[in-house]
Amino acid sequence: MRRTLVAGSVVLGLLAAPAYADTPEPSSPQTPSVAQAPASFGGEAIVYSNYLSDTISWAALNGGASGTLNTTGATVSGPWGVALDPARNKVWWANYDSNTIGSANLDGTGAGADLPTGAAPFGDIYGFALDPVAGVVYWANYGSSTIGYARTDGSGGGTFNTGTATMNGPCGVAVDRAAGRLYWGNFDGDTISYANLSGDGGGSGDLATTGATVAAPCGVAVDRSAGRIWWTNADTSSISSASTAGGSGADLDMTGASADAYYGLALDPAAGRVWWPGYNNGISSAALSGGGGSDLMSSADLVYPSYPALLDKPVAAGAAAVTGGSTVGTRLTCTSSWAGDLVESFYFRSPSTTTTSWTRNGQPVPGATAATLTATQPGSYTCARTASNPAGSATATSPSFTVKPVGVTLGKARRNQATGTAKLKVTVTSPCQIRVSGKGVKTLSKTATRAGVFQLVVKASGKAKRKLKATGAVTVKVTVTCTPSDGTATTKSKKVTLKRASAR
- Please check the confidence at residue 445 and state whether its pLDDT lies above 80: yes
Q: What is the CA radius of gyration of the chain?
A: 34
Phi, psi of 410 (to 5 degrees): -105, 125
How far is residue 180's CA from residue 102's CA, in Å, rounded to a whole number? 25
DSSP string, 461-489: -HHHHHHHHHHSEEEEEEEEEEE-TTS--
Q: For residue 102, give the DSSP letter.
A: E
| Residue-wise pLDDT tens digits, 256-279 | 999 999 999 999 999 999 999 998
How far is residue 188's CA from residue 123's CA, in Å, rounded to a whole number? 15
Give the helix/strand (H/E) hosting 59: strand 55-60
The 3-class secondary structure across 267-334, one letter per residue, is EECCCCEEEEECCCCCEEEEECCCCCCEECCCCCCCCCEEEEEEECCCCECCCCEEECCCECCCEEEE
pLDDT at site 301: 87
Q: Is 82 helix (H, G, I), strand (E, B) or coil?
A: strand
- Please check the confidence at residue 406 and state whether its pLDDT lies above 70: yes
| Residue-wise pLDDT tens digits, 290-325 | 989 999 998 888 999 999 999 999 999 999 999 998
In this structure, of 45-54, 144-153, 228-237, 321-330, the range with the lowest mean pLDDT score is 321-330
Domains, in order of start, for the chain? 5-23+33-311 (2.120.10.30), 321-335+351-403 (2.60.40), 408-499 (2.60.40.10)
Average pLDDT score over the chain:
91
As a whole-number percent, the residues of the chain with pLDDT over 70 amount to 92
pLDDT at site 7: 40
How far is residue 145's CA from residue 338's CA, in Å, rounded to a whole number? 38
- Please check the confidence at residue 253 and state whether its pLDDT lies above 60: yes
- Please check the confidence at residue 385 and state whether its pLDDT lies above 70: yes
pLDDT at site 24: 30
- Model confidence at 329, pLDDT cuts 50, 70, 90, reads confident
| Residue-wise pLDDT tens digits, 276-290 | 999 877 999 999 999
pLDDT at site 429: 86
Contacts of 174 (CB under 8 A, 6+ apart): 129, 182, 183, 184, 220, 221, 222, 229, 344, 346
Residue 342 · residue 163 · CB < 8 Å: no
- Please check the confidence at residue 32 and state whether its pLDDT lies above 70: no
- Model confidence at 443, pLDDT cuts 50, 70, 90, reads very high
- Please check the confidence at residue 400 and state whether its pLDDT lies above 60: yes
- Model confidence at 14, pLDDT cuts 50, 70, 90, reads very low
| Residue-wise pLDDT tens digits, 51-107 | 999 999 999 999 989 999 999 999 999 999 999 999 999 999 999 999 999 999 999
Phi, psi of 251 (to 5 degrees): -105, 140
The type of residue at 495 is: K
| Residue-wise pLDDT tens digits, 188-207 | 999 999 999 999 999 999 99
Closest CA to 387 of 436, 431, 336: 336
Closest CA to 82 of 420, 416, 348: 348
The whole-number average pLDDT for the span 413-434 is 94
As a whole-number percent, the residues of the chain with pLDDT over 90 amount to 83
pLDDT at site 4: 46
Q: For residue 60, give the DSSP letter.
A: E
| Residue-wise pLDDT tens digits, 88-103 | 999 999 999 999 999 9
pLDDT at site 168: 98
- Please check the confidence at residue 459 and state whether its pLDDT lies above 70: yes
149 strand-pairing partners:
138, 158
What predicted TM-score, i.e. pTM, was given to this entire model?
0.83
- Please check the confidence at residue 239 and state whether its pLDDT lies above 60: yes
- Please check the confidence at residue 215 and state whether its pLDDT lies above 60: yes
- Please check the confidence at residue 403 and state whether its pLDDT lies above 90: yes
Distances (CA, A) of 360 to 318, 363, 384, 431: 21, 5, 12, 23
- Please check the confidence at residue 503 and state whether its pLDDT lies above 80: no
How far is residue 173's CA from residue 127's CA, in Å, rounded to a whole number? 6
Residue 413 · residue 392 · CB < 8 Å: no
